[in-house]
Chain A
Amino acid sequence: MPFTLNRRQALIGLGAATLASQARIGFAQTPAAPISIVINQSPWLASFSATVDLYQKETGNKVNLEVVPFDGMLEKQRNSVRASQGDYDILILNSGWFVEMYYGGFVTPITEIDPGFTLDPGIFTLGDTIYFDAEKKNMTPEGKLMTLPIQPNIPMLYYRGDLYQEKGLKVPETFEELFNNAKALQNPPQMYGIVQRGARGANTVSYDFYPYLFGMGGAVFKDQTAGDYSVVLNDDKGKAALDYYLNLAKEAGHPKTASQDQAQIVQALVTGHCAHASLVIAAYSTMDDPKQSAVVDKIEYAPTPHAPGLQPGPALGHWLGGVAHNVPDDRKRAAVAFLSWFQTRDAQIANLKAGGIPLNATVYEDPLADERQNRWMKPLAAALPHAINPYAFPEATEVVAVLELGLNRAIAGEITAVDALNSMSDDIYKIMEKYKYKTAELPKLTA
């Protein structure tokens, strides 16, 4: 008997076949496990959130953002990674504590979760801080891939382009040029030539001071990558950097630099009372927002200045995304799937369009970088390769606390630059000696 189908049977069969094929497609694209990302309340949260929404839409995977204030972020992460099972799959790690997480074994290397993972060649490696060699205790590409950049944040020089045009000033490349320009625009209290971040905080005045120290060829330690933690803060370059920083504040800065924090600098800029500031690039979006700024389209950007013959020395204030060690394997894989998507050019274009800062160098070559609202991109791309990781050891918070106190006291005029450098160097040396690092100290500076 021949096998025949009537029209109705044929239609049913066709429908069943379609359903089966859909089911197969569905099986092939099984959604990854839902993941949770702990992130701080920051100016770039909105763009990150929009990019995450796009990921969810494109893949159907679920991502929960646990948004916490910056101040409570580290404690939340510590509590999560030290528990038997973590709450957060992806930890958004700040430059201030990612080393602690690496050393503590709290982050699972990405390539251990997915051996086939390849880093997009356009990704900024940000001082190679995305790698870590647990045995050699250093951060070089020879180590394991621990994290991916989420936010390549570094300080840039914000300056008033309109005033530069008015006065015929040249964009400063050297410290001397910055000083002269700031002095030329100094007219307090209507206009401060520069506002520096001199307050004592968790990583406030020290973060503001690094571009001056590094840009003059100075450093806190002799050679961290080689494991030489000899304190060189109080050498001639350190002295020149602090003298310059104090003089800049005195001659062309805010009269109360010792109490200026990042929020006050942003305020001074957007209210039109500040001609220059060294500020993290993440704050750029505020400058052109007419709801928040009186200087829309007037702020321009440049790499932080340097001494003649040297390169800019912006310190990394970046954010990295790492996978927590104490979450189930399926969630680890889902976390890597997200990071893998996030590093792509398309995702980073979406990130830029949402107001974020791309972490893929190819985006900076896109025509989007030539648009007026993205005028910060080219200077940032020029500065990023020179970004310096100030600390590559987990006890860095103790060193930062010493710098915060010493620098703030020098700016407030409580002690001289020489006394500040000597006392800070001595305290840092003691910290490094206590933790048994290879260290030494220079002879004391004399006034």
Chain B
Amino acid sequence: MTQAGISTASIAPLARPARPREDEKLWRWLSFSPALLLMLAMGALPLVNLLATSFFDVTWTSGSANWQPVGLAHYRELPADPLVAAGITNTVLFALGAVFGQLVLGLILALLVTRIPRGKVFFRALFILPILIPGIVVGAIWKLMLNYDFGLVNQLIGFAGLTAQDWLGDSGTALLSVIAVDIWHWTPFCFLLFLAGIEALPNDIYEASRMDGASPWQDFRYITLPLMIPTIAVTAAFRLVLAFKVFDEVYLLTGGGPGTATEVISFTLYQRFFTEDKVGYGAAMAIAVIFVISLLLIIGLQGRRLGRTA
């Protein structure tokens, strides 16, 4: 039988990909298995161990560990823990506030640097400086800057005739201060990604819009922003995941205080697991945190996929 002069019998073998032979499949699995086993050992085993620990109470006597099974008791305790409740609320506020600030500032800086004709390298280097500073140094810098008695910030607002504030010690300003420090520290990350994204946008669209008489705002609103959505989505997802894990800034600047004003979930976890040595309970808290962060990551990636489809 022929169709348009071509024998179907002659094209059939070409259309169907050749099926791998059994020994080839086996060879593929064999060559892949070391990497798979390594990944399992590095990633899954600690998680399984953490999960198993979360069902026990661990105490020490005569130099040996005693493992007492407690079932789901630790998971049931979590919602009643006042620090966990405060930690979740503050972590969400911190993550949303900090990431929003970083995205907006990062985008503005990237747009400004793209438009300057000369000195791009200088400004790029200048803006990424904070990201190069180790967290411990960031903590020291800002602890001094925000000090009530002799901090630079209070001295500056003193020159302006305003009253000194206890930025890190007042319940009303402590979390905002930590968010501001995080924005200062991590905006360069967003700036770098946005700058790369903007510089990769096709020029011909902008040329066409200029020929149509579009204003710079219209350029941004109808060309740059829509084309940058995937980059913004990925940056936001990365930053959200990192912001949910915030620890060093809180630990160094406020220690979770005053009261529970800056208590974040990683800090609570640190206290319960390490300071108080409640290994089982801390493991349950860690599993819960990992679950939430994984969920966020999945949502973020799904969002990116939907963005691409759109």
Q: Is A414 an interface residue (CB 8 A)?
A: yes
Query: Is there contact, CB below 8 Å, between A256 and B63?
Result: no
Query: Is there contact, CB below 8 Å, between B63 and A326?
Result: yes
Query: Is there contact, CB below 8 Å, between B63 and A408?
Result: no
Contacts of A264 in B (CB 8 A): 147, 149
A199 with B171: in contact, given A268-B149, A401-B271 (CB under 8 Å)?
A: no
Query: Is there contact, CB below 8 Å, between A202 and B275?
Result: yes
Q: How far is the CA of A306 from the CA of B259 in the complex (A)?
A: 28
Contacts of A397 in B (CB 8 A): 275-277
A78 with B277: in contact, given A199-B169, A414-B171 (CB under 8 Å)?
A: yes
Across the interface, name the chain B residue whose C-beta is closest to A104: B60
Q: Is A81 an interface residue (CB 8 A)?
A: yes
Contacts of B275 in A (CB 8 A): 74, 202, 397, 401
Query: Is there contact, CB below 8 Å, between A103 and B258?
Result: no
Query: Is there contact, CB below 8 Å, between A81 and B166?
Result: no
Q: Is B27 an interface residue (CB 8 A)?
A: no
Q: How far is the CA of A75 from the CA of B275 in the complex (A)?
A: 8
Query: Is there contact, CB below 8 Å, between B63 and A258?
Result: no
Query: Is there contact, CB below 8 Å, between B276 and A105?
Result: no
Q: How far is the CA of A259 from the CA of B147 in the complex (A)?
A: 10
A interface bracket (residues with beta carbon within 8 Å of B): 35 or more
Across the interface, name the chain B residue whose C-beta is closest to A268: B149
Q: Is B2 an interface residue (CB 8 A)?
A: no
Contacts of A201 in B (CB 8 A): 255, 257
Q: Is B188 an interface residue (CB 8 A)?
A: no
Q: How far is the CA of A259 from the CA of B257 in the complex (A)?
A: 8
Q: Is B65 an interface residue (CB 8 A)?
A: yes
Q: How far is the CA of A81 from the CA of B63 in the complex (A)?
A: 8
Q: Is A276 an interface residue (CB 8 A)?
A: no
Q: Is A398 an interface residue (CB 8 A)?
A: yes
Query: Is there contact, CB below 8 Å, between B271 and A200?
Result: no
A199 with B255: in contact, given A104-B63, A412-B171 (CB under 8 Å)?
A: yes
Q: How far is the CA of A78 from the CA of B62 in the complex (A)?
A: 14
Query: Is there contact, CB below 8 Å, between B169 and A200?
Result: no
Query: Is there contact, CB below 8 Å, between A259 and B60?
Result: no
Query: Is there contact, CB below 8 Å, between A105 and B171?
Result: no
Contacts of B60 in A (CB 8 A): 82, 103-106
Query: Is there contact, CB below 8 Å, between B61 and A259?
Result: no
Q: Is B274 an interface residue (CB 8 A)?
A: yes
Minimum CB–CB distance from B267 to chain A (whole Å) comes to 11
Query: Which residue of A259, A260, A326, A398 has the most chain B CB atoms within 10 A of its CB atom?
Result: A259
Query: Is there contact, CB below 8 Å, between B169 and A256?
Result: yes
Q: Is A189 an interface residue (CB 8 A)?
A: yes
Query: Is there contact, CB below 8 Å, between A259 and B259?
Result: no
Query: Is there contact, CB below 8 Å, between B259 and A103?
Result: no
List CB contacts (< 8 Å) of A250-280 with chain B.
Answer: 255-256, 258-260, 264, 268, 273
Q: Is B195 an interface residue (CB 8 A)?
A: no
Query: Is there contact, CB below 8 Å, between B168 and A259?
Result: yes
Q: How far is the CA of A103 from the CA of B168 in the complex (A)?
A: 38
Minimum CB–CB distance from A67 to chain B (whole Å) comes to 17
Q: Is B282 an interface residue (CB 8 A)?
A: no
Q: Is A33 an interface residue (CB 8 A)?
A: no
Query: Is there contact, CB below 8 Å, between A408 and B258?
Result: yes
Can you name 9 extra interface pairs (CB under 8 A) apart from A264-B147, A397-B275? A104-B60, A104-B63, A105-B60, A105-B61, A200-B257, A255-B148, A259-B170, A268-B149, A326-B63
In the complex, 26 of the A-B residue pairs with CB atoms within 8 angstroms, ordered by the A residue number, are: A75-B274, A82-B63, A105-B61, A105-B64, A106-B60, A199-B169, A199-B255, A199-B258, A200-B257, A202-B275, A204-B255, A255-B166, A256-B170, A258-B169, A258-B258, A259-B148, A259-B170, A259-B257, A264-B149, A273-B149, A395-B276, A398-B276, A408-B259, A409-B260, A412-B257, A414-B259
Binding site for B on A (CB under 8 A): 74-75, 78, 81-82, 100, 103-106, 189, 199-202, 204, 255-256, 258-260, 264, 268, 273, 325-326, 395, 397-398, 401, 405, 408-409, 411-412, 414
Chain A to chain B: the 6 pairs with minimum beta-carbon distance, closest first: A259-B169, A200-B257, A104-B60, A105-B62, A256-B166, A409-B259
